[in-house]
Structure 1
Amino acid sequence: MRRLRALAAAAALALTLVGLAGCSPQDSLVPDVNVTGEPGEAPTITYLTPLDVTSTHTEQIWPGDGPSLVDGQAVLIDFWLEDASDASLVKESFSTKPTALLLTEVDLGKDLYNTLQGQKVGARLLQISPGSGTGATDYPTVTVIDVLPTRASGEPAPVRADLPVVTLDPSGAPSIAPTGTEPPGALVAQPLIRGTGEQVQANDMVTVQYTGFSWTSGESFDSTWSRTGLPVSFSLQDVQAWSEGLVDQPVGSQVMLVVPPTYALGITQSEEMAGQTVVYVVDILDTGHPSAGASAG
């Protein structure tokens, strides 16, 4: 039975999957579940209902070709979760925003942690689990999980000589060397790495890693890399400078935004930076187009 429905509001995957049953030995009788669909798109899942699930089963629909996931580090995933008793959609993130968590059993729950261990960015995974019996999910579940990048990837872009030089540490976290010159008077959006994904649109929900720096000193005043290590998602409508600078940039890109003090800082309000030009280095990891009235979840 095939069931594919759009869900207006998606909640974080961990709220449901942490409550699933603990991982048990693989059942010798693997449930017959077929997953189709293209990378970056919501999957179509086909199976007969009610699905008989006695133990947790995981399967790699396709392998990833990106970096290996690192235990204890950030992982970014899209998911599609169905109630396998009737193939009804429970939660999904493809229409809103991906979920960022740490690759730990505490954050993910035992089943999802085991499913993601040893995988690479770009993988699509299938997890079939029995009901937990704890009230969180008393029904068997079928979940498709896409592993997304947590840093920009693509081809380096030529950079204006009057802009700060950006250096990345092994994790991808940036630092800058101040120029010692006067900042530009207008907003600058300078690609540093050109990705190959979908272009950001004006009303999108974007998922990013970023660091904000003082133009004058080069010191960081805010960073997802150092604060939690987890990407964040927000609506571009909420931040004027980011909306103007990131629109039409492709997913996978890293962009330097030089923001004059005439713009509000938006998601990173900082009294110490009031009246100063700031520099953001932004890794664009995902972009979504929530439908009218949709919630970020």
Structure 2
Amino acid sequence: MRTRPLITLSTVAAATLLLAGCSGTPAPEATSTETPAAEASCILDLTSDAASDAVSVEGSGADAKITVPAGTEITEAKRTVLSEGSGVEVKPGDLVSLRYQLVDAVTNEVLSTSERGEDGVLPALLPAEQPQQAMVDPTQSPAFTVAAECLPVGSSVVLTMPGSEDGSQHASVLYVETIDELPLTASGKAVAATEGMPEVELDDEGAPTITIPDGDAPTETKVAVLKEGDGPVVASGDLVTVQYRGVKWSDGSEFDSSWSRGAPSQFQTTQVVTGFKTALEGQKVGSQVVVEMPPADAYGASEGHELQKESLVFVVDILATTPLEQPAQ
């Protein structure tokens, strides 16, 4: 498993990692960025120091006011636990809901927050707030992972992160409140099957079995909702957390699956094949969809790819979505 120490992160890098995943991680060629399965131990389990202990937090959630006293020297990543919750212990590989604020440690300016509008986007200064969903995954969300790991759900912490070595970027402080552990399968309400689409059956763990219908392979991409969620809407370019299984139309054999790897996957909607992108964008978190696509919307343009001439079918559970950019405040 590949990790990245937080002590090397600048304020800008930290903000980017929080919302966009680990910089330097190659974009998924098609539909998967592997997410490590839950680990039995912590990754860093950071302790506190004088700098992290000096940070004050008044209030909670979007109303919290985080203050870093003038002159506080942040030279390494440290974590101060403000309060311990009473829920289950958060481990790498878990999916949690949380609230957070990222502030500049010199100016106390809020750089990023979990504040979201009712439609799931991140408009500036709207009063509506929905918790952020985050995969506790060191390759995609290292700051969230190190802030939340090995503490009970319901805990609140501050995480200090040093600035750039050349001084061009200030140190930063991340304040995180974990709220709940989230399911690793779609939690929406089941809806009636769409006639003509591949049939889907779920086992006791929620893993899908896909049956290809009789008839010709698809000539256009079609998406059908199997479960209707009520969470934030997936927008173009979002970082999504999903469970999925993909099979070939030609023989029904599996070629890719987060279920087979034992953990959900995360990737940006714009970094996957067109048919998969179409299946995700506009759907709500908590939904499960089935999508069929011709080669043109899959790997048709990838000369020599083993799936170049294949029509594909995916069943996707949409577990979380994270917008990658926030408007200027």
Q: Confirm or deny: 8 A CA contact 2:230 2:286 kept in the other structure.
A: yes
Of 125, 131, 136 in structure 2, the residue corresponding to residue 101 of structure 1 is: 136
Would you say 1:56 and 2:80 are equivalent positions? yes
- Superposition map of 1:76-225 within 5 A: 79-82=100-103, 86-89=107-110, 99-102=134-137, 112-115=148-151, 118-119=152-153, 125-129=155-159, 141-145=173-177, 149=182, 150-201=184-235, 203-209=236-242, 210-225=244-259
Q: Contact 2:229–2:287 at 8 Å: present in 1 too?
A: yes
Q: Distance in 1 between matches of 2:63 and 2:269?
A: 27
Contact 1:197-1:250 at 8 Å conserved across structures: yes
Take 1:189 and 1:262, find their aligned partners in 2: how far apart are those partners? 16
Contact residue 21 and residue 130 of structure 1 kept, 8 A = no
Q: Is the 8 A contact 1:196 1:252 kept in 2?
A: yes
SS across alignment from 1:249: coil
Cα distance change, pair 30–46 in 1 and its aligned pair in 2 (3 A): closer
| Distance in 2 separating the partners of 1:71 and 1:20 | 11
Does the aligned pair in 1 maintain the 2:112–2:326 contact within 8 Å?
A: no
Residue 213 of structure 1: CA displacement? 1.1
1:275-295 CA-partner distances (Å, limit 9, x unpaired): 22211111223345545999x
2:16 to 7, 11, 28: 11
Deviations 1:155-205 (A, max 9, x none): 00111243333233454332323335433433210101100123334x341
Aligned partner of 1:46 among 65, 68, 91: 65
Alignment of structure 1 residues 22-33 onto 2, 5 Å: 22=47, 32-33=57-58
Quote the residue 1:284 is aligned against: 318
Q: CA 1:257 to 1:208, structure 2 compared with 1: closer, same or farther past 3 Å?
A: farther
Once the two structures are TM-superposed, the CA of residue 229 in structure 1 deviates from its matched residue by 1.5
Shift in Å at residue 232 of structure 1? Answer: 1.1
What is aligned with 1:35?
A: 60
Aligned partners of 1:263, 1:71: CA distance in 2, in Å?
37
Residues 72 and 216 of structure 1, relative CA distance in 2, 3 Å threshold: same
Identity among equivalent pairs (%): 24
Equivalent residue letter for 1:87:
N
Using the size of structure 2 for normalisation, the TM-score is: 0.59
Q: 1:230 to 1:254 in 2, by over 3 A?
A: same
Given the superposition, is the C-alpha separation of residues 69 and 250 from structure 1 closer, same or farther in structure 2, using an over 3 Å criterion? farther
Distance 1:275 1:158, change over 3 A: same
State the Cα deviation string for residues 237-275 of structure 1 (Å, max 9, x = none). 864223433343222111100112232349x99933222
Query: For 1:207-239, what per-residue CA distance to the aligned partner results, in whole angstroms no more than 9, with x for missing partners?
Result: 032221112332221123334613312134864
TM-score (norm 1): 0.64
Count of matched residue positions in the alignment of Structure 1 and Structure 2: 265
In structure 1, stretches of 5+ residues that fail to align are: 1-6, 37-42
What is the match of residue 74 of structure 1? Answer: 94
Q: Which amino acid aligns with 2:150?
A: N
Aligned counterparts of 2:304 and 2:245: Cα–Cα separation in 1: 13
* Structure 2: runs of 5+ lacking an equivalent: 1-11, 23-42, 73-77, 116-121, 123-131
For residues 283 and 63 of structure 2, what CA distance do their matches in structure 1 show? 29
Verify: 1:259 aligned to 2:293, yes or no. yes
Equivalent residues of 2:57, 2:64 under 8 A apart = no
The answer to whether residue 270 in structure 2 is matched with residue 246 in structure 1 is no
CA RMSD of aligned residues (A): 5.0
* Aligned residues of 2:241 and 2:265 also touching (Cα < 8 A): yes
Do 1:23 and 1:111's aligned partners in 2 also have CA atoms closer than 8 Å?
Answer: no
8 A Cα contact 2:95 2:133, kept in partner: no
In 1, the alpha carbon distance for the partners of 2:136 and 2:303 equals 24
